[in-house]
Amino acid sequence: MAKIEQILALEQIENDIFRGIATETMLPRTFGGQVAGQALVSAVRTVDPAFGVHSLHGYFIRPGNPTMQIVYLVDRIRDGRSFCTRRVTAVQDGKAIFTMSASFHGQDEGIEHQDRMPSVPFPEDLPDPETMFDAETLLWAKREWAEWEFRFVPPELMDASRRAAAQQQVWFRSREALPDDPVFHVCTLAYMSDMTLLGSANVGHEEKTQNASLDHAMWFLRPFRADDWLLYDQTSPSAGLGRALTQGRIFDRNGNMVAAVVQEGLTRLMRES
């Protein structure tokens, strides 16, 4: 399997045109986090380093072919004194499979506050995932996500909201040390943020569903490292009509809220063949 450094190392093939590698996968379609992460890298490569990415909003238009490379076309929408905006279109076989708008900010002085991190055990105090999942799930995870480490908070240890319809909490990180470049960690988190989030919609349901990301939005709030443990506090406030809305707050282990995510996904009941 490709390393995250390989996945995010895009080739520049023309001004504002980039190409990402195809990666080995067992998924029938390109992993959404890969497309979002590569699209964000392409946008970053066209922006002055003085501006840091603070948000992205993307739509998954068509399933990506995991055996094909993806070309990213960047439009420079605006370069202002405080903000820059880019629009990215991911293309395979001449067709758009993903579009993203990304906004960059030069940082300013302002008010400060944040939600408190849920009171949950630290990852070192949680059971190894191998004790929590069936053999088929573990085999898939070890092959598909070998370089990522996860610790799911058991329901009885969760700091759960009584108002949440469905909720799960997951610690996650890169197993290996990553480059020190803060922008690399932002793009890596864009990749990682698509992992497990839609699964929060299935909490409490026994029906088998066909799942796919439909859109994805992120806000990057404070500095962090993706090779340190991050807590992904996930909820699904609504599901219906074959779609589920999910949202996540991401904290570092010191309690700093570093990012927020909202995603809608397909959760259609599996059709009988």
Is residue 176 a part of any domain in this protein? yes
Q: Do 247 and 221 reside in the same domain of the chain?
A: yes
Q: Do 85 and 152 reside in the same domain of the chain?
A: no
pLDDT of residue 80: 96
Count structural domains, the chain: 2
**From 194, 234, 236, 252, the catalytic residue:** 194
194 is catalytic: yes
CB atoms within 10 A of CB 79: 14
- CATH (domain of 253): 2.40.160.210
Half-sphere exposure of 211 toward its Cβ, with a 13 Å CA cutoff? 20
Q: Do 138 and 66 reside in the same domain of the chain?
A: no
Give 10-residue mean pLDDT values along the chain (273 residues). Answer: 92 98 89 97 97 98 96 98 97 98 94 96 86 60 82 92 91 96 97 94 91 96 98 97 97 98 95 68
263 is catalytic: yes
Q: Can you give the three-state secondary structure of the chain, one letter per residue?
A: CCCHHHHCCCEEEECCEEEECCCCCCCCCCCHHHHHHHHHHHHHCCCCCCCEEEEEEEEECCCCCCCCCEEEEEEEEEECCCEEEEEEEEEECCEEEEEEEEEEECCCCCCCCCCCCCCCCCHHHCCCHHHCCCHHHHHHHHHHCCCEEEEECCHHHCCCCCCCCCEEEEEEEECCCCCCCHHHHHHHHHHHCCCCCHHHHHCCCCCCEEEEEEEEEEEECCCCCCCCCEEEEEEEEEEECCEEEEEEEEEECCCCEEEEEEEEEEEEECCCC
Q: Do 93 and 168 reside in the same domain of the chain?
A: no
Domain's final residue, options 106, 139, 165: 106
- CATH (domain of 25): 3.10.129.10
pLDDT of residue 201: 94
Domain with 101, as residue range(s), is 1-106
Q: Do 98 and 153 reside in the same domain of the chain?
A: no
pTM of the predicted model as reported, rounded to 2 decimal places: 0.94
- Spatial separation of the C-alpha atoms in residues 135 and 207, rounded to whole Å: 20
6 is catalytic: no
Is residue 140 a part of any domain in this protein? yes
Is residue 97 a part of any domain in this protein? yes
pLDDT of residue 26: 84
